[in-house]
Structure 1
Amino acid sequence: MTERFRNNEKNSPYRRGTVKEINEGRIRVTFSDEDETDSFWLNANQSGTGANKSWSMPNVGEQVNCLIDWDGEDGCVLGSCWNKEDSAPSDDPGVEHIVDESGLEIIRDRKSGNITIRNAASVRVEGNDLVVSAETHLGGDGGKAVARIGDHVLVSSGSSAGLWPIVEGSSKVFAVD
């Protein structure tokens, strides 16, 4: 045990504080247990920074867990923590549930494998080729079947009455039964 450790009142590098500001991926935290002392700029832990990257920063005002060196000059923000003002969006340990300040929700149920996206202003999926291999309901459950080129439609009256094939359609949407 070092002299610095023995002489430290708290005997722990762990601190809990409130995010004061964020700049270029670093965070400054205010520690209320130290007379509102502000930290130096701290790195924020991420789940991936190499070939697989992830980026998620806490909001200003959010309560965070930190590890700080004994001199208080270096450290990192480990992550955010739930409290009375900011409660968890779910208490199901089998669910990953993300909610952002716009109200967007992304829910991944690890047991069923289902993913739900709610309240998105828009959803954009980009790629050279998109394959959806499931029953698809556009606009909600209970919609009508979609007609494709080659399908036949019944024209019930007029000079074109009869069963006619669809000969033109979208050049960007394709379907297979």
Structure 2
Amino acid sequence: MLRFGIVSQINPVLAQARVSFEDDESTSFWLPVLQTKTLKDKFYSMPDIGEQVACLMDENSEDGVILGAIYSTEDVPVVTSEKQLSLNLENNSLINIDKETNSLNITFENINLNGNINHTGKLINTDGIKSNADITDKTSSMRAMREIYNPHTHTGNQGSPTSAPNKTM
């Protein structure tokens, strides 16, 4: 049977929770929280304590599964378009996919990526670029340009070489 209740306890290690049901003032045993993938690929998401959830329970409400959280009049969706897929966290971090504008928006204080990134298109940056490694374009690297620029001299007015630049790269 389908039942609606409020999460009263969670066990994040086992991906389980207990649910309080108002209709008969009972609390479930530990119930697994339904996940999208659990075998080779892993997906993990837990409801919050106090979150309203839908549960599929046996006829005695002794065993079942938490199907997922549901919105209410108090907890409303922050996105109201069927064209968007959105993850909004309580700390204002955000992942939003908009099918209408064909865009992905990510807002986090720090984003750590591990692996190669292949990019096609214009890169627009508004706050500088910092690299702990050499930067190379199709012609040369920043290191190679410094090796040429920093020691370079010119022929002075009387034919002798000038000194290297006062400011190096």
TM-score, normalisation: structure 1: 0.69
How far the C-alpha of 1:101 sits from its partner, in A, is: 1.5
Q: Are the counterparts in 2 of residues 39 and 72 from structure 1 also a CA contact under 8 Å? A: yes
SS in 2 for 1:33: coil
How far apart in 1 are the matches of 2:125 and 2:63?
52
Q: CA RMSD in A?
A: 2.8
Which residue in 1 is equivalent to 2:6?
Answer: 18
The answer to whether residue 78 in structure 2 is matched with residue 106 in structure 1 is no
- Asked which structure has the greater CA Rg, the reply is 2
How far apart in 2 are the matches of 1:56 and 1:150?
44
**Structure 1 residues 65, 135: CA separation in 2 closer, same or farther (over 3 Å shift)?**
same
Which residue in 1 is equivalent to 2:17?
Answer: 27
Amino acid at match of 2:42: K
How far the C-alpha of 1:138 sits from its partner, in A, is: 2.1
The answer to whether residue 110 in structure 2 is matched with residue 122 in structure 1 is yes
Residue-pair matches, total:
139
The runs of at least 4 consecutive aligned structure 1 residues that moved more than 3 Å come to: 146-152
Matches within 5 A, 1:82-161: 82-118=71-107, 120-127=108-115, 129-139=116-126, 149=140
Identity of aligned residues (%): 28
How far apart in 2 are the matches of 1:79 and 1:100?
17
Ranges in structure 2 where 5+ consecutive residues have no aligned partner = 128-134, 155-168
SS in 1 for 2:68: strand
Ranges in structure 1 where 5+ consecutive residues have no aligned partner = 1-12, 141-145, 161-168, 170-177
How far the C-alpha of 1:69 sits from its partner, in A, is: 0.6
TM-score, normalisation: structure 2: 0.72
